[in-house]
Structures are given as structure tokens and as C-alpha cells.
Amino acid sequence: MEQTQSLRQAIDNGQTVWAAGVYDALSAKIAQAAGFSAVMTSGFAVSASYLGLPDVELYTMSENLNVIHNVANAVTIAVIADADTGYGNAINVMRTTREFEKAGAAAMIFEDQEAPKRCPAVADAVAILPKDEGVAKIRAAVQARQNPATLIIARTDAFNEEEAILRAQAYAEAGADLIQPISKCFKDIHGLRRLRQACGKPLSLQILGWLETDLSQDEIQSVAGLAVFPLVALMTMHKAMLENMRQLHQTHSTQQLPHAVTSMKDFKSFIGFDEITALQNRFLIAQQDFSALKK
């Protein structure tokens, strides 16, 4: 796919690709309309939007795959898939890689937690796989991809900096294209630079916590091939919709909503009614024309 090759080329050329975290086709279309050249399907956001539940790997591979498929069909930019633990061992990872690729993913993030995973952004501790097993899963993903341009991103959920560096080096040697640490591991840009130098691969950073508040754009770009704001879309939706729904419930009126809403005209244009109408006019035979054809 063109998007896959473009993403690979940008990162291989030393650029930093800035991406928005999304959770469904509509949020992906909005991110593209806002100007992003890539989106990432955040597992945290998918679990919240798809199931209304926390990110503890409750959704299945096929449910996540359905989200990837819909997102990839809705946009013309690169889609980065949060593939969680790969949904099993190295053999499962191989199928996950092939299926996600077919669904339209230009890149996949595999983490080295034991399944079922726990979100490190909210958990005080997580159980991670032995390093050799984590390496085997990355090797399996690299071998299984059908398009050599597809990016395999190895995420280590180690909380200890030295352990994270050792794993990053091993995953890079196994063929990972980018390395992703968790935000709770490294504490400053110096740690991220050590990681970047040690593994010899660009980093994939989820801009959360201290990375969001303490790092400048230039600092992020000095180490990252991929920089993602994973939860801005989800949290924006939650706050704005909750406040509007509360006001609507209290007043039974749309006249004083806290947040302005898109007009029906603008949303119909955004979501593609004009294109559908044009296709209907071109391909659907009006009833009177159909009756004439029968004579």
C-alpha cells in the first residue's frame, strides 16, 4: 500500500511522524481532516469506545481487527495498529501480523507483557515475558509480514531503565523497526537518548505523562521516528459529550450547550453524503426508468 511505503520512507529518512490516537473510523477521519499524516488505533481508546471497559485486553483479536479494517477503509493516511500482546504466543503473533496487514495496517505495535495485559499507564506493576520469548514474538512478526515496508514496533513494558535498554537491544536485533518504551520507565530526555543510542533504532513515543508536559517538540524529534498523542481524541470526546449531555438532560434544550456542535449541513458534507448522492444519481435507476426497461 502507498501509505505503508510512505510511512516507512519517512522514518527511514530520519523524519519524525506525528500521529493522532484514534478509536474508530469517525475519529480517524477527523484526525485526517485536521492534517495528520498517520493515525494510531489506541488499545486504551478502542476498549473504552468499543466495549465501554478498561484496557485490560478484554476485546479479542477479531474485534480489534474489525476496528483496524474500518479505520483503514475510512482514511487515506497510514494506520498504525496497537496489536497488544499479539493475542498469544509467537505463532499467534504471526497470524495477527498477517491479518492486521490485510486489514490495512501500515505498522503494528507488539508489547512484551504476559497476556492478558494490563495498561501500564494506570497499573502500578505489570508482568512481562522472559526476554527470549519477547524476542521470539518480534522475530515471528518480522517473518510473517507480507510487505517488507510494514513497520514492526517492539514495545517493552519494563519499568526499569536498564532492563528496558537490554530488551530494546534484543528486539532491535530481532528485526524491530522502532522501539517503544512506556512513559513510566524513563524520566527525562537523557534516558530516552540513552535508549535511542543503545538500540540503534528510532523510538516510538506515546506522548503521555511527563513526555507531554516536560519535553519540547525538538527534544521528541531528536529521538523519535514516531510520536503519537494516543488519548487526546478520546478524552476530548468524553469531556465535550458528557458536558453537553448533562446540559441537555437538565434543560431539554440545545440553546445553551457548553460546546458548540457541528451543523447538520457541515457534518453531512464531512461524512460523505455529497459523494453518495453523486453515486446514487449515477448508478441507481429511478423507478420510472426501471419500469420503462421492463416494457
Catalytic residue among 119, 123, 136, 232: 119
Check: CB of residue 88 under 8 Å from CB of residue 14.
no
Q: Is 165 exposed, middle or buried (0-12, 13-18, 19+ CB in 10 A)?
A: buried
CB count within 10 Å of CB 26 equals 17
CATH superfamily of 2-230: Phosphoenolpyruvate-binding domains (3.20.20.60)
Spell out the residues 6+ positions from residue 277 whose beta carbon is closer than 8 angstroms to its own: none
Q: Identify the pLDDT of residue 146.
A: 97
Collapsed DSSP state (helix, strand, coil) of residue 60? coil
Q: Identify the pLDDT of residue 293.
A: 53
Q: Identify the pLDDT of residue 115.
A: 86
Q: Identify the pLDDT of residue 288.
A: 46
Distance between CA atoms of 19 and 39, rounded to whole angstroms? 5
* One-letter identity of residue 262: T
Q: Which of 284, 80, 68 is nearest to 180 (CA)?
A: 80
pTM, full prediction:
0.93
Distance between CA atoms of 144 and 148, rounded to whole angstroms? 10
Angle at 250 between CA 245 and CA 252, to 5 degrees: 80
Q: Identify the pLDDT of residue 292.
A: 53
Whether 185 is catalytic is: no
Q: What is the pLDDT along the chain (295 residues), one digit of tens a residue?
A: 699 999 999 999 999 999 999 999 999 999 999 999 999 999 999 999 999 999 988 999 999 999 999 999 999 999 999 999 999 999 999 999 999 999 999 999 999 999 888 877 777 778 999 999 999 999 999 999 999 999 999 999 999 999 999 999 999 999 999 999 998 999 999 999 999 999 999 999 999 999 999 999 999 999 999 999 999 999 999 999 999 999 999 999 999 999 999 999 999 999 999 999 999 999 997 654 655 555 5
**Which grid cell sits at 259?**
460546546
Q: Is 276 exposed, middle or buried (0-12, 13-18, 19+ CB in 10 A)?
A: exposed
Q: Identify the pLDDT of residue 248.
A: 97
Give CATH 3.20.20.60 domain extents, the chain. Answer: 2-230
Q: Identify the pLDDT of residue 126.
A: 86
